[in-house]
Amino acid sequence: MSQQHVNSEDVYCEICHILLPIIRILVDLNQTERIENVTLEICNEFGLVLDVCSGAVHEYKDVVFQVISLTHFSNKALCSLAMNCDRQTDYPTLNWSVAIPDRKPPPQPPKPPSPDSPKLKVLQLADIHVDFGYKPGSEADCLEPLCCRKGLPLPHHPAAGFWGTSLHCDIPYWTAEAILEYAAKTEEVIDKILFVVLILFYPNKLISSTILATHHLIMYGINLVLTNSIR
């Protein structure tokens, strides 16, 4: 079966319901080394990108094995909890209640500072993802986890723009450089720089390495481009 983008929760739930009983059997038989081959066969049957499936197995298999060994949940309940396959209210064991001993204190509205208080200018850089392999004009809606890197777009398919594309792509490094240079030129004085980033594991070596390279570029850009703007 050809590989495809799969964003349907129903597909992931179906895979979970097929795969979880097999994992339990392999755990009981002490044959967990076979789980990658089984998972890849199922991914291939559903047309998923195989390197993503393989990366997910390598990253999460030990956690899954431990959960299966310790939990008293059924397969269906586990899929419901992990993949949101069913309403969790259908499972009494998933309906948790937390007793709060005291009422929370009444809210205290913040007091605004006095007009003559010191003021700081803060530059916030939020979750910038840079792809050093970005190629303008390449396929922007591909079957890989990260597009805009190779190939020509099919007829009526979008191509990667010069500055970036709002599809399955990160931005090129020159766009990130332009953002930093614009910030340095626009603001004469920047007191603080706040770099906010969400660090997650992606079951794909290409995306993981791209995220790491992005962090290096942003930190280098902050030190090099914005140094003269910081007090």
Which positions ≥6 away from 52 have C-beta within 8 Å? 145, 203, 204
pLDDT at residue 3 is higher than 50: no
Per-residue b or e along 97-109, where b marks 16 or more CB atoms closer than 10 Å to that residue's CB:
eeeeeeeeeeeee
CA angle 128, 130, 136 (to 5 degrees): 130
Higher model confidence: residue 140 or residue 53?
A: 140
Assigned token pair, 112: 């605004």
Q: Which residue has the tokens 């069913």?
A: 86
Residue ranges per structural domain of the chain: 9-94, 116-132+170-231, 135-168
- Cα–Cα dist 128/178, whole Å: 13
The pLDDT assigned to 97 comes to 80
With 0-12 / 13-18 / 19 or more C-beta atoms within 10 angstroms meaning exposed / middle / buried, residue 140 is buried
- Cα–Cα dist 8/216, whole Å: 34
In whole angstroms, how far apart are CA 77 and each of 64, 66, 88, 214?
Answer: 14, 16, 8, 38
pLDDT at residue 94 is higher than 50: yes
Determine the average pLDDT of the residues in 154-158.
86
Q: Which of 77-81, 83-87, 93-97, 159-163 has the highest mean pLDDT?
A: 159-163
The answer to which of 74-83, 102-111, 155-164, 215-224 has the lowest mean pLDDT is 215-224
Per-residue b or e along 51-86, where b marks 16 or more CB atoms closer than 10 Å to that residue's CB:
bbbbbbbeeebeebbeebeeeebebbbbbbbebebe
Residue pair 65/32 in contact (Cβ under 8 Å)? The answer is yes
Could you report the per-residue pLDDT of 64-78, keeping only the tens digit for each?
A: 888 888 888 888 888
Higher model confidence: residue 221 or residue 132?
A: 132
Assigned token pair, 132: 């050093």
Average pLDDT value for the chain: 78
- Cα–Cα dist 34/22, whole Å: 10
